[in-house]
Structure 1
Amino acid sequence: MSLTFNSGKSVGRFRKKLIAQTVATSLAAAAFTSLAAEQSEPEEDISDVIVVTAQKRVQNVMKVPVTVDSVSADTIEESGSILLQDIDKFIPGFDFSEGTMTQAGVTIRGISSPNISVGSDPSSATFFDDVYMPRAAQNVLFSDMQRIEVLKGPQGTLFGKNAAMGVVNMIPNAPQEDFEGFVKGTFGTDNLVRIEGMINFELLEDVYFRANFLTNEQDGFVDNVARPEWNEGTKIWELGAENHDAARASVKWQVSEGTDVTFSYDWDNLEQAPPMAIGLSEYAWENPNDGVPGNIDPFADKAENDVRHGVEGRDMTAYTLKINHDFDQYWSMKFVTSYREWETVNRQDEDGTANITRYLDTSNNEDSSIFYNELQINYVGDKLSYVGGVTYSKEDVWQESEINVTTDTVARLVTGDLNAQVKQVVGGEVLSGLQQAGLIDMAMGDVDTAAAIYACTLQGLDASNCIGQVSFADVVDQAYADSGLEMDHLWNADEWSNVLSAFGMDASPEFVAATGDLTYDLAAQMFGSPLIFGPSFSGMFWSENFVNTGDFTSYGIYSDFDYQFTDKWNAFFGLRYTRDDKEFTWEITETQFTEERPGVTNILFPAVPQFGAEESWNELTGRIGTGYQINDDHMVFASYATGYKAGGYDSLNISSATQPFEPEEVKNLEIGYKGVLAESLRTTLAFYHTILDGRQRSVESKPPGQNQALPTVVNEDLVLNGVEVTLEWEIIDGMTFGAVTDYRETDQESEAFYNAVGELIEAMTISGESSVNYTLTYDWMMDIGLGDTRLHIDYVFAENTRVFEVGQPAFVEDIPNYYDDRQDLNARISWASENENWELAIWGKNLLDNRYVEGSLGGRTAGVLGTPYVTINRGLEAGVEVKYGF
């Protein structure tokens, strides 16, 4: 969830507000608890229906003394969810970015980590079928999923690798004995076609087979009207178009009553539109109906993204072997080994225009793999439970970060440099004129005073009216503007002719136009700069790419004990030792344009031959806590846990070779309550105090000497105080109402860094509070006598905090809906036949048809080329669903 930051030390006010809310909520919970404790046992305990494996054991979610949320298969289906970004609304303190499939990331309690750099890791770990999922592999389709668990707070003891802020645990259905299957089709707005199927049967005696697939395709919702020559014969995607397929096949062999072996194969293929860039500049697509140059309406249904061969793609496969064995009634083991590999491409427009002289695209290409292994030993006794094990993983990564511009854009950048040189010449002439007029002597050598006297003299004013109001730079700026020598682009014959004349080369505009590259080549020789080249090179591409490789090895050993002192009171304690070894290399390739124009060199980043670095980090993390079961319906718990995320390297910052960023270290104190109030209201409250040292945050940075802003990792320290609330009220049999929300305060100490336009942002301490956000749900299983009829509704509210952002350009006030709060209403009504073979449904998303600007106004070219852009959401969606089960 987003944070609104306020400079200064206003922490006290926020803490008082948090303490007041915490006390009020705690008193209310205590009152409800006392009331419920006096009542008789309910006939049906709604807390019995959800199980989790948050502690590497199968447990009732309402009996687990840690903060864990679970999203069931029913919720996934009723909400039409197929990705993590679809279900984050049901979990307080959890967010999954919607930007891209291959560079998405988990945010837990306001903390996320950069995912663009293969040299770093996320702060929250993602697991699928007991296997750790790195960066670009995290975002997978939900197909035949049993449930999703999200654990908040450090989970390093049991889950280990990079679980400093929490864990997302995706649990697919396993093969089983009974024959079952289904085929489902979902059809809707923008030609949505989603086909899903599953089949499960006994292949041989004691050998079970389960397979599923999901294919999801939907047209875009913004027409891309750009048709550059370089995309002839290449698919031009509508913005927002989706095309994603996935399949899974598993075989389970029940070797004996206490032993089973499962082998799974996962396949994932993504080929869809690249992330959108709707330009909001005078150079972007112009709406012919508003008569305004450029575009300031991001919802006009048209945009120009001229990215060459733009696409987001991923080809991923995985093989997993799991062995479970019970030694006796007390001891058991589980062994997991998995190999996953993927190739990705994410080539996207970075300027939001079809202006060839302002073209820039980037592409993050990756070819990586991970070999993950875990051996786990379990003991379950009358009083003592134990989980211990060892983990080993090895990642091999290769990443190429492309930065591509046209030669027309390069010529524009060169134009800026020439303008600066011409301006220096004009400045020299102004200085010489002031000296010859004796004004500098009159001003006793002060050039600003001399310039002020000169400016007043021209206007017939007394010098006192200008001194202190006009500077030498102001006079130079005016003289330069009056000279007519400033060029928009050096390939403009009239402008180029004027500049040549200023440098003593007599060339008329007609001569410049008629002789092609001749005058440019002559100027290149005069200035000794091959970067001055003529218009015959137009339409070519200039690339400067970062290439990184990595070899990462991680080891872990852990033990966790849970002791039941009485029927109501238990305590747990665990430790893990983790070691991470990283070898990493950098290379910046030389632009291929050197083959076309000998002598040119990189203009964005100097070429660097491959070189490497290596480092190791290790940490001992642990947890200790207790839970007290007041009665069958109510429990309270408390825990203290530490977490760790390995240090690493910034793939786009070669200085991190000698200064790798430090690990993230987390300390978390948490207290909570879980219970069923008045026999029908399932309640979870969690209060936490988190200290995060060395948070690795990605910022767009343009330090001195660097011509282009790039994502750069900076470290900062944070203190978090927050509360999370989950409520589920069973109003009557078959009808439930739910609500989730969270509130958080943050104190943040950041280090100094250069922002995207090269300004030094000093180290500072800022404080803030999370925006207002909540999700309301309503589910009703209607009894109309003809099968089962279900209604699901969810409403999501998120406060817009852009109004608190400083330094925004004035025109954002004219961007429609830019300051709107987010309000999404979604619904689905379904009917299933009495034998449950057939199910029909009608569904709608964003029923209010609200349109939003996603994220903030941005773009790597906003400062250099004047081309900011935004992304937007899809409007109202509706459709039908047909399912046949067998």
Structure 2
Amino acid sequence: MHIESRAARLRIALAASTILASSLAQPTFAQTAAPAEPAAAPVELAAAEIDGGEIIVTAQRRAERLQDVPLSISAISGDALRNAAVTSADRLEQLVPGIRLGRSGSDLRPAIRGTYTENVAANGDPRIGIYVDDIYQSRTSQVPPIVDLQRVEVQKGPQGTLYGRNSFGGNIAFFSAVPTDEFAAGIDGLYGRYNHARLEAFINTPIAPGISFRAAGLYEQDDGYIKNIGTGNDLGREKQWFVRGTLRLAPTSMDDRLEILLRGSYLDLGGSGLGGFGYKVLGSEVDASLITAPGGSITRNGVTYQLPTGFNGSSFTGTGTSIDTRYRDGIPDINGADVGIPTIADPYTVNYAGDVFRDGDQQQYSAVINFDAGPVRLRSISSYTDFELVRTGGSLTPVLLNYSYQQTAARTFTQEIQLLSNDKDSPLQYVLGGYYLNDRVREVAVTNQNRSYVTATAPVGQQYYTFGFNYLPAAGTGLNQTFAYDGFSAVQQKTKSYAGYGQLSYTFFEKLTATAGIRYTEDRKTLLSSRFNRAATGAGSYFAHDIEQPIDYACGGFIPASPRSVSADPTAIAQAYNFVCGSNKDSFTTYRGALDYKFDRNHMVYASYSTGVHSGGFNTGPVTIGGVPTLLPFAPEKVDAYEVGAKNTLLDGTLTFNVAAFYNRYRDLQAQTSIPNPNNPLTGVIALVQNIGKDRAYGLDVEALIRPTDRLTVNIAFNYLNAREIDYAVNTFEFGGAATFCNVTTSCTAASGERNTVQGTPFPNSRTDPNRFVPILDPNGQQIVIGGVPQFKYVIAGKGLDGTVYKSKKAFSPDYTVQMGIAYAIDLGSAGSLTPEVQTYFNGGYILTDLTPDYGNQKAYTKTDLRLTFLTADERFRVQAFVNNIEDTAVITRAVYGNHRSLLTSFAQPRTYGVQVGVRF
């Protein structure tokens, strides 16, 4: 954390609060001034209006009825969010059909129609666009709290023309409430399980004719829902406060032609969070039939492996076991073998040493200008965001073997200009725009090793050994002997993106509308990535690192280790690492074409074709080419999307029924693989991210909203999704115990290929499963051999050597989901109303990683929310009791493989309950 920087930000926030408070301190003037007619806001206020009970959306960058937009969109009003106690973005999946909203640590990981955000590091970009008041958020951890929102829109499928910036699988757009010319205020309080306390408030006040102001704030904290029996420092603890102010200027002298919206917000984020990637080790893959005692042997596919030191059964295609194989404790686990450390079955209980914390803040400022120039409207959207977040985590063991810090800092400026048609009665409608983004992201990761840990003196059951492929821990391999260096990495990515776009539509015969759009984008990226430069020398030498150490982000610049390091060579400490840099430019064009036919106001059918692009970037691991350390780039990903649908309002407006069928084809997907070494393609390979994947997804979305009476509301949604990997092969590399495993056997030799296998395990390999191990060829079509070892890639999906076609499901893509809800307002006469409500969500289950579709699956589940709401007749006072996830279902929202095939996971909250109280003035 940069303490001075944070203090400066806090002073800015306090100063802004003082200014806002002084504005609010003038209610007498606002009330005694001559009343003004409500100003017509060209976009903002129009989007806040409700047309016959229907939400108005801006998915096509202009205000339209949801039922008039030829796109698959779900929209939730601010009142509905408040009623459902949606206090964080990941709870939206309970209400919005067809999306998955996983979370790891502070990072939101949305999934829509077969694609999801995997890489949230500095060198990656989200695959789903996240927008706050039309402002693109470059990090998925920048989603603000759900406070005083006007609505949330979820736009499904690529939005590559009008939004563009990484709207590869769709968008999630948050819109805060806009100031109006009438005084309003409200306070909402919530108290629930885990001592969850939340207080939010807003105030809206007119200041002068055409000038109004709205402020909203939040304070929230809880005790966390993951019990840590090791230290009592429970995980998942939330603590945050947030303030947002919006000033609306619509001078009456301009005859409602000009509107300016100035917004500023500040977020302070604390608590413990859920760590960086996953808080719980679910288990590891072990093939029990491969476990072999010292002196035994294994025979597979006609090959016999003699194993004098034994083998623990680790296998890429093994069965998931409740064992953490990152470390071993010398205690037998399976078939008398020490495979690792047993895990705790309860998803919400851990036994970890070390207290963890999260500390971050964000300030965001924006200016939106709308100007009615007669035949056209002009719109300008400007924003600046300053974001910083530090997350910490221990070794996820009862003994603190190491402690990690991850610091992410992003500064982003965006500017967008739009020119829109202004005659709503004209058959020709258009929007033209230009977009600029300047984004700088820095990420520093430090892992401090516990050098005081000595295996020999550790308590029984906590004598941890480094992992190896031997049957038992080797003597004298305490962690203190192997952890000579602290872990360190630093990355900076700068992105400048320029885009120009246009979309026009023409309506024939007042019913048939043809739409065409195009967008040209140019991304310029520069990446700095740290590289180990010099080793510490001398007895007892090691490198130490501190998260607070200053770093000079310069191409080729040296990064010193901490002065606490030990080395006989001071230069080694001063030049421990250096930055390797790379720059490139990607340009691409995205399109959209659509036809829609409106039979009347209540019935429409449409068909569309659109394309989308997800940005390219750089691999952070430098590769030496011609003696020069080099960062190799990867290109953008692409999607072609086809959709047909119908939107209908039936039975005199009591039934809304929408249906959409889609087919998405993804290509040039970024995946880790092996390629011939650019420096010497005939004798070497390099493992890195390249564009080698192909996927496809098709499905059906059905949504119905039924209001047979003013008091009864029923919603039903069904989503079918068939998302599959079509072409996906991962790199193979030498596993950790290759030398020991191969060199002591009679049949495993370098030339046989066992030393280059999948994901660090010796099984399967090119001899036990030859069909999926496809040779890596040089430019002459010959298999590359390095040190006598043939090189392969492993086919997850695609063609095997004999032509067999393999397919695999996509992670976090359930085959089907069902949502149902019913609410009935019981009339209590002059006392008000009492509304019982049930909202249930069924998910057919999904795989957790593309690599291993048969391990760690999330089984089918149901989550149901119950709420009972009392509302006074004047709608000013509200009390609600609620229970969320009444089934107490444990749902895995994120999974990633750690060292030695241990699967790290995060779970969504279990059953929660509480009471909400709200008042409106």
TM-score, normalising length: structure 2: 0.69
- The letter for the 1-side match of 2:439 is E
- The letter for the 1-side match of 2:129 is A
Q: 1:700–1:878: structure 2 CA closer, same or farther, 3 Å change rule?
A: farther
After alignment, is 541-550 or 369-378 more displaced? 541-550
1:56-90 alpha-carbon deviations (Å, 9 max, x no partner) = 11101111111111111122112100222111232
Q: 1:733–1:808: structure 2 CA closer, same or farther, 3 Å change rule?
A: closer
Q: 1:714–1:93: structure 2 CA closer, same or farther, 3 Å change rule?
A: farther
The question of 1:690 aligning with 2:664 is answered yes
- Between the aligned partners of 1:808 and 1:636, the Cα distance in structure 2 is 37
Q: Tell me what 2:594 maps to.
A: 625
Q: Tell me what 1:793 maps to.
A: 838
Q: Tell me what 2:272 maps to.
A: 273
Q: Structure 2 residue aligned with 1:397, among 441, 451, 467?
A: 441
CA contact (8 A) 2:897 2:904 kept: yes
Q: Structure 1 residue aligned with 2:399, among 348, 351, 355?
A: 355
1:674, CA displacement in angstroms? 0.7
1:129-144 to 2 correspondences below 5 Å: 129-144=133-148
1:482-529 alpha-carbon deviations (Å, 9 max, x no partner) = xxx9316348xxxxxxxxxxxxxxxxxxxxxxxxxxxxxxxxxxxxxx
Q: 1:615–1:784: structure 2 CA closer, same or farther, 3 Å change rule?
A: same
- The letter for the 2-side match of 1:374 is E
CA contact (8 A) 1:545 1:588 kept: no
1:313, CA displacement in angstroms? 2.9
The question of 1:305 aligning with 2:343 is answered no
Q: Alpha carbon RMSD of aligned pairs, Å?
A: 3.7
Q: Indicate the percent of aligned positions where both proteins have the same amino acid.
A: 20
Q: 1:876–1:418: structure 2 CA closer, same or farther, 3 Å change rule?
A: closer
Q: Tell me what 2:605 maps to.
A: 636
The question of 1:826 aligning with 2:865 is answered yes
Q: Tell me what 1:731 maps to.
A: 708
Q: 1:869–1:833: structure 2 CA closer, same or farther, 3 Å change rule?
A: same
Q: Tell me what 2:877 maps to.
A: 838
1:584, CA displacement in angstroms? 0.9
TM-score, normalising length: structure 1: 0.72
Q: Tell me what 1:24 maps to.
A: none
CA contact (8 A) 2:131 2:172 kept: yes
CA contact (8 A) 2:130 2:140 kept: no
Q: Tell me what 1:33 maps to.
A: none
- Between the aligned partners of 2:264 and 2:454, the Cα distance in structure 1 is 47
- Between the aligned partners of 1:712 and 1:397, the Cα distance in structure 2 is 20
Q: How many residues align?
A: 696
1:577, CA displacement in angstroms? 1.0
Q: Structure 1 residue aligned with 2:496, among 541, 545, 553?
A: 553
- The letter for the 2-side match of 1:203 is I
DSSP 3-state at the match of 1:190: helix
Q: Structure 1 residue aligned with 2:617, among 635, 641, 648?
A: 648
CA contact (8 A) 2:369 2:379 kept: yes
- Between the aligned partners of 2:674 and 2:214, the Cα distance in structure 1 is 46
Q: Tell me what 1:260 maps to.
A: 259
The question of 1:592 aligning with 2:543 is answered yes
The question of 1:251 aligning with 2:251 is answered no
Structure 2 unaligned blocks of 5 or more: 1-49, 282-321, 330-337, 457-462, 536-541, 545-560, 678-686, 733-757, 763-791, 799-806
Q: 1:335–1:808: structure 2 CA closer, same or farther, 3 Å change rule?
A: closer
- The letter for the 1-side match of 2:477 is H
Q: Structure 2 residue aligned with 1:782, among 826, 829, 841?
A: 826
Q: Structure 2 residue aligned with 1:336, among 368, 381, 384?
A: 381
1:735, CA displacement in angstroms? 1.1
1:122, CA displacement in angstroms? 1.4
- Between the aligned partners of 1:69 and 1:664, the Cα distance in structure 2 is 25
Q: Tell me what 1:346 maps to.
A: 391
Q: Tell me what 1:153 maps to.
A: 157
Q: Structure 2 residue aligned with 1:240, among 213, 236, 240?
A: 236
CA contact (8 A) 2:410 2:439 kept: yes
- The letter for the 1-side match of 2:712 is M
DSSP 3-state at the match of 2:115: coil
CA contact (8 A) 1:90 1:740 kept: no
1:244, CA displacement in angstroms? 2.3
Q: Structure 2 residue aligned with 1:741, among 718, 724, 749?
A: 718
Q: Tell me what 2:413 maps to.
A: 371
1:84-125 alpha-carbon deviations (Å, 9 max, x no partner) = 211123223322222222x22222112013343212211221
CA contact (8 A) 2:367 2:383 kept: yes
1:384, CA displacement in angstroms? 0.8
1:222-246 alpha-carbon deviations (Å, 9 max, x no partner) = 332434xxxxxxxx73122111222
CA contact (8 A) 2:466 2:477 kept: no
Q: Tell me what 2:304 maps to.
A: none
1:25-424 to 2 correspondences below 5 Å: 49-101=54-106, 103-227=107-231, 237-255=233-251, 256=254, 257-275=256-274, 277-279=279-281, 281=323, 295-299=342-346, 302-307=349-354, 310-328=356-374, 330-349=375-394, 351-356=395-400, 359-381=401-423, 382-407=426-451
DSSP 3-state at the match of 2:104: coil
- The letter for the 1-side match of 2:594 is G
1:781, CA displacement in angstroms? 2.3
- The letter for the 2-side match of 1:327 is A
- Between the aligned partners of 2:350 and 2:673, the Cα distance in structure 1 is 27
1:191, CA displacement in angstroms? 0.7
1:542, CA displacement in angstroms? 4.0
1:416-447 alpha-carbon deviations (Å, 9 max, x no partner) = 89999xxxxxxxxxxxxxxxxxxxxxxxxxxx
The question of 1:716 aligning with 2:659 is answered no
DSSP 3-state at the match of 1:86: helix
Structure number with higher strand proportion:
2
1:150, CA displacement in angstroms? 1.1
Q: 1:566–1:805: structure 2 CA closer, same or farther, 3 Å change rule?
A: closer
CA contact (8 A) 1:544 1:588 kept: no
- Between the aligned partners of 2:688 and 2:365, the Cα distance in structure 1 is 33
DSSP 3-state at the match of 1:134: coil
Q: 1:804–1:394: structure 2 CA closer, same or farther, 3 Å change rule?
A: closer
Q: 1:114–1:83: structure 2 CA closer, same or farther, 3 Å change rule?
A: same
Q: 1:713–1:312: structure 2 CA closer, same or farther, 3 Å change rule?
A: farther
1:294-341 alpha-carbon deviations (Å, 9 max, x no partner) = 65443286422224x52223210011111111012x311111111001
CA contact (8 A) 2:809 2:853 kept: no
DSSP 3-state at the match of 1:160: coil
- Between the aligned partners of 1:163 and 1:73, the Cα distance in structure 2 is 23
- The letter for the 2-side match of 1:105 is R
CA contact (8 A) 2:142 2:387 kept: no
Q: 1:636–1:125: structure 2 CA closer, same or farther, 3 Å change rule?
A: same
- Between the aligned partners of 1:157 and 1:853, the Cα distance in structure 2 is 34
- The letter for the 2-side match of 1:613 is G
Structure with bigger RCO (C-alpha 8 Å, 6+ apart)? 1
CA contact (8 A) 1:278 1:298 kept: no
Q: 1:208–1:627: structure 2 CA closer, same or farther, 3 Å change rule?
A: same
Structure number with higher helix proportion:
1
1:633, CA displacement in angstroms? 1.8
- The letter for the 2-side match of 1:97 is G
1:567-582 to 2 correspondences below 5 Å: 567-582=510-525
After alignment, is 268-277 or 632-641 more displaced? 268-277
